Structure formats: structure tokens, C-alpha cells
Amino acid sequence: MDKKLLIVGNWKMHLNVHQSSLLVHRLQERLSGHRSLEVVIAPSMLTLQPLSQQIDRRRLKLCAQDAYFKDDGPYTGEVSFAMLGDLVQYALIGHSARRLYFGEDLDTVRDKVQAAIRNNITPIICIGETKQERDAGETKQVLHDQLTTALMNITSKEIERIVIAYEPVWAISTFDGILAKPSDAQKALRYIRSQVEDLYGKRVAEAMRLLYGGSVDNHDVRSYLELPEVDGVLVGAASLNYQKFVAIVNQAHQIQTERK
């Protein structure tokens, strides 16, 4: 199976237009465009338009961090997936910051996944349990509920375009930031793949790209990417530092070469 590793940098609410442009410039100077990898950045909404003109698509692709599920209408302050269609190839959906800070519920995530698909944007659906849920032994139930609702009404054709990122909330740098053991990531990703298999069959489950995210940096990325279950990483804090992010991409390239 020939899956490209997917490395995604989530810049969150950091960097203004000028700073974003500078970081893209630095990244493009150092990334050589590996054909076996996809390198994606998710800058703030404000910078997507100028960066779409600056990026070299052989090296970098753009991802939105969020968008609204209606295509247009009187939704003051929102930007729709329809408006982003020409700018981005990917969109994060249901990131834990959206769920926890902005009260995004399961149904909203489901509607956003459909809006992204409708507008030809590949959803990267983020799922993961909080520390409290993990301590209460609810991890599988939480992952099951988040996954099955997000995929509700997704056809067997559409599912081929979807990416799932497992990000345990307790491992994200902005929340508890405890580094997850690779075996924790492995266990959860196996469970997620088995759920996809129950819903869509073995072929789809094996072909689906599953990412891991949560305090991934240039020192620990290898331990996650070496897991056979992992098809890429979602990187937050470390993606704001070009040296760290380039080191992550280079290691991914090395691992991809070793895998072949």
C-alpha cells in the first residue's frame, strides 16, 4: 500500500500576516519537496489568502484550522468551507481547542465534516479523550462516539478522502502536555482503525491515513512515526519553529524511505 506520510503543522492563533509569511519563506528555503510525503501547514484564517499566493505547492499545502458548516448566510463573524475551497486542500475539524474552548459538540463536528467534503476540502477530523475521561476508563467510548458521529452520512466513496488525527487532550502542549507513550498511541489508533473497518470494511480502514498528535517535536517524532499504525503527525508548538519543523519533516522522509 502506498500511503504518503502526512505532516501537519497547526499554528493555532499565533503569527500575524508578516510573521507567517516569514515562516513560510524559511520553510520553503529548507524543504526540498519529498514525493513520498505531504507537508501541510494550518496558519490562521487571516493569512490563508496571502500565503496561498506565496506557497510552492510542491513543498507545502494549506489547511484551515476550522470553518463554519453553512456555505453562506447571515452568520456574522464566520467563514465558510465554501469560501475556503480555492485556498486550502485540508481543514482541521473538531480540534480539542474547538471542542473545549468553543463548546463544539458532536453534531457540529459532523456538519463541518460534511461541509468540507461538499466543498472539496479534505477533513482532518481530530478526536481524543480528556484526562478525566481516560482516568475514568472511557477512552474507547469517547473515541467511538466522536468517530461515529463525525462519519455519520459519509458514503463509502467520501470516506476515502478523510483523515483522522488521534490527539489525546492530556498530551497536547496547551492542556496537560504529558507525553503519550507510543504504546498508548498505538492502542488508540488500532481501535480507531478497527472502528473504521466495522463501518466501511477492511480495505477502507487500511487505506485511511491516521495521524498522531500531542506534544510531538523533533525529539520524539520518530517514536510515533515508527509505529506501523501511524501515517503522519499533527504538530502544534513545534511547528512554529522552522528548525524543529524541518527536522520533523526530514525524519519523516527518512522513516518513509526505511518503510519501503
Site residues, ligand PGA (CB under 6 A): 10, 167, 172-173, 213-216, 234-237
Which position's Cβ is nearest ligand PGA?
Answer: 236
Shortest distance in whole angstroms from residue 240 CB to ligand PGA = 9
Residue 8: partners with Cβ closer than 8 Å, 6 or more residues away:
40, 41, 42, 63, 90, 92, 124, 165, 211, 213, 232, 233, 234, 235, 239
Grid cell, residue 170, equals 492530556
Catalytic residue among 95, 129, 229, 253: 95
Q: How far is the CB of 155 from ligand PGA (least distance, A)?
A: 28
- Tell me whether residue 100 or residue 106 sits nearer to ligand PGA (CB atom): 100
Pairing status of strand 232-235 against strand 90-93 = unpaired
Of the candidates 59, 63, 72, the one whose C-alpha atom is nearest the C-alpha of residue 42 is 63
- The question of whether 78 is a catalytic residue gets the answer no
In terms of CB distance, is 36 or 173 closer to ligand PGA? Answer: 173
Torsions phi, psi for 40 (to 5 deg):
-130, 140
Is there a catalytic annotation at residue 258?
no
Name which of 214 and 232 has its Cβ closer to ligand PGA.
Answer: 214
Closest CB to ligand PGA among 88 and 234?
234
Minimum Å distance from CB 203 to ligand PGA? Answer: 29
Q: What's the CA gap between 21 and 246, in Å, rounded?
A: 16
Closest of 28, 26, 62 to residue 45, by C-alpha: 62
Beta strands in the chain (DSSP E): 5-10, 37-42, 61-64, 90-93, 122-127, 163-166, 209-213, 232-235
Please state the closest distance from residue 233 (CB atom) to ligand PGA, in A: 9
**Active-site positions?**
95, 167
